[in-house]
Amino acid sequence: MTNFVVKKPWTGRIGALLGIMVMALSLRTAVSVVPPLLGELRGELGFDASTIGLLAMLPPLIFAVFGLLTPVLIRRFSLEKVLVAAVVLAVAGQLLRAGSGAVWPFLGFTAVVMAGYGIGNVVLPPLVKKYFPDRVGVVTAGYVTLLAVGTALSPQLAVPVAGLTNWRVSIGLWASVSIVVLLPWALQAWRDRRGALGAALKLDAGHSSAAVDSSVGASMDAAAPKLLPWRSPVAWGLAIFLAGNSAQTYVYFTWLPPYLSGHGLDAGTAGSALAYFAILGLPVSLLVPLWVPRMKNPIWAILLFAACWATGHLGLYLAPSDGTWLWVTFSGLGQGTFATALLMVNLRSRTTHGSAVLSGFSQGVGYAFAGVAPLFFGSIHDATGSWTASFAMLGVCLAVMLVGAVMINPKRYIEDSAAVEIPAAVTIRG
């Protein structure tokens, strides 16, 4: 199969660039804005321990379901249409849950929000592949960094905004960021339509097909072979890698504050430790996409981040109240493995379609595993009365992640082993 990368100037893709960045900024805000407000939600809506646990499990589990469904939607409706549907779901869900008067409607509308953002998780890597095949590292660095910014920003503003207004405004406010996503994509759709029309006119006038805009190439990519990701070692490797990584991250987001509080730290300091952990995702998110693509063997970078995770886990287990900030620093820097996972979606696929399938499969399987990890972490502690087995579980997650790292280290692509039919037509990588 012959692949061509059609490059366009930045000015021809500014709408797509802005759309990708704003979408990344919005993807985690609706998740991380709720925990700081649980005190108010508990009293007004009737949250208890079981419904709070269900609320914590909803994001990764819904992400998992829609991670597996989204590639089918993309193949049928196109990336841009699926993105618009995701934004509409996210906006509607956020506004409706802000107006909820009871716990179960709140949880139901939260599931709608997570469905929208679960789709958004999957579409971002193939959008980068389609519009920026010549700038994958730079654009990935930008959007993964903004993903981390959104994760850290909304919990920091949640309580102050609620204090000035109320919790409903604090939660519903972030729907406005999602609405903004539609504006640059409307601009890009207009530019792409003009480009496609101009390309068609050139072809009618007898010009070379090499002048065809990459938007035309994208439509040809829709005719790419059907891919079965479960046949691909690359897809399984990335899914396993993301599962081990996300399990550790979700355990920290769920259990770090109560764990530290149980070892003598006050609630404010424990909450600040979690915010610090989230903020440390920023520098590594910016570094990884600029550094890892230059490496012949990305596993060396992964081993460095894995060592950071291991040091943080051991420090927090052995001396949680002594050197707390040092251990959280190590664990926070370990989050470079998440940025690596998102980058590898495009480094281990040749086409936009391959990127979409690899993104959906790896995130679907990965988030399913991550969704139950915090539950097991707490249940193991309750069953044993000790944190030893719980932290041993984190070690298992780390080992699982490294198994996936070994599988994705060789330079091979999902299209090599997952295709079930090869069309005669030439496919343009777009």
- What is the arithmetic mean of pLDDT over 169-183? 89
Residue 267 in tokens: 């609630």
**Half-sphere exposure at residue 194, Cβ-oriented, CA atoms within 13 angstroms:** 8
Position 6 confidence tier, pLDDT thresholds 50, 70, 90: very low
- Alpha-carbon gap, residue 232 to 71, rounded angstroms: 16
pLDDT in tens, 361-373: 999 998 888 888 8
- What is the arithmetic mean of pLDDT over 375-382? 87
CATH class of the domain whose range is 10-418: mainly alpha
pLDDT in tens, 48-76: 877 877 888 888 889 889 988 998 898 88
> Would the pLDDT of 332 be above 90?
yes
> Would the pLDDT of 80 be above 50?
yes
Q: How high is the pLDDT of residue 226?
A: 79
> Would the pLDDT of 400 be above 90?
yes
Domain range summary for the chain, segments of one domain joined by +? 10-418
Position 424 confidence tier, pLDDT thresholds 50, 70, 90: very low
- Alpha-carbon gap, residue 98 to 113, rounded angstroms: 11
Q: What is the largest CA-CA distance in the chain?
A: 77
Q: How high is the pLDDT of residue 215?
A: 42
- Alpha-carbon gap, residue 418 to 230, rounded angstroms: 7
Percent of the chain whose pLDDT exceeds 70 = 86
Position 227 confidence tier, pLDDT thresholds 50, 70, 90: confident
Q: How high is the pLDDT of residue 48?
A: 80
Which of 191 and 284 is assigned the larger pLDDT? 284
Mean pLDDT of the chain: 83
The candidate with the shortest Cα–Cα distance to 25, out of 143, 159, 129, 117, is: 143
Q: How high is the pLDDT of residue 111?
A: 94
Which of 384 and 190 is assigned the larger pLDDT? 384
- What is the arithmetic mean of pLDDT over 177-204? 68
Which of 361 and 47 is assigned the larger pLDDT? 361
User: Token match 């919990």: residue?
Assistant: 155
- What is the arithmetic mean of pLDDT over 24-41? 84
